[in-house]
């Protein structure tokens, strides 16, 4: 994605837990995600953050993205040091777009533009220095 939100996920761990959607017991993968606002593949700032819980048997996903709920969950994890799945009422169905590996072809296509912008900036700098 050249421009917009790019999601990065970090796996925190796995625990046996009952699925909040279908009730089946299986390994639940807990991931922390951050939505980076990026321009031309450059992450600029974190626009959103939260947690994702994915059950291995059914592939159902639930997540936290509410600011207060995310802060609360982070504090709980830090305080107890034990990973847990929040009560189902706090979670909502969620899917996170997995980050795609950066396509080398895209960078090649963009490089002339980056070069032009770079030369443009250099030119502006030289003009400003010349005006002094």
**Count of helix runs (H) and strand runs (E) in the chain:** 2, 5
Residue with tokens 């970090």: 10
* CB nearer Zn ion, residue 8 or residue 17: 17
> Residues binding Zn ion: what is the number (CB under 5 A)?
5
> Exposed, middle or buried, 50 (CB in 10 Å: 0-12/13-18/19+)?
buried
Shortest distance, position 51 Cβ to Zn ion, whole Å = 17
Shortest distance, position 85 Cβ to Zn ion, whole Å = 12
Shortest distance, position 22 Cβ to Zn ion, whole Å = 3
Shortest distance, position 24 Cβ to Zn ion, whole Å = 5
Residues 6+ apart with CB under 8 A from 28: 14, 15, 16, 17, 19, 53, 54, 55, 56, 85
Point out which residues pair with 10 in neighbouring strands. Answer: 32
Choose one: 8-16, 21-29, 37-45, 95-103; the region binding Zn ion (CB under 5 A).
21-29
Residue with tokens 């969950």: 73
Q: CA-CA distance, 89 to 93, in Å (whole number)?
A: 11
Q: Is 19 in the site for Zn ion (CB under 5 A)?
A: yes
Enumerate residues 36-95 that contact Zn ion by CB under 5 A.
58, 60
* 22, 117, 119, 126: which one binds Zn ion (CB under 5 A): 22
* CB nearer Zn ion, residue 62 or residue 64: 62
Residues at the contact surface with Zn ion, assessed by CB under 5 A: 19, 21-22, 58, 60
């Amino acid at each position: 994605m050249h421009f917009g939100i790019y999601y990065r996920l970090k796996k925190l761990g796995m625990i046996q837990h009952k699925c909040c959607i279908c009730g089946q017991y299986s390994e639940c993968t807990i991931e922390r995600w951050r939505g980076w606002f990026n321009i031309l593949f450059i992450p600029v700032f974190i626009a959103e953050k939260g947690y994702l819980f994915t059950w291995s048997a059914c592939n159902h996903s639930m997540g936290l993205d509410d600011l207060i709920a995310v802060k609360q969950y982070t504090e709980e994890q830090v305080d107890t040091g034990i990973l847990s799945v929040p009560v189902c009422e706090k979670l909502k169905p969620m899917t996170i777009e997995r980050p795609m590996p950066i396509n080398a072809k895209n960078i090649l296509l963009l490089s002339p533009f980056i070069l032009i912008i770079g030369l443009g900036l250099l030119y502006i700098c030289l003009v400003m220095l010349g005006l002094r």
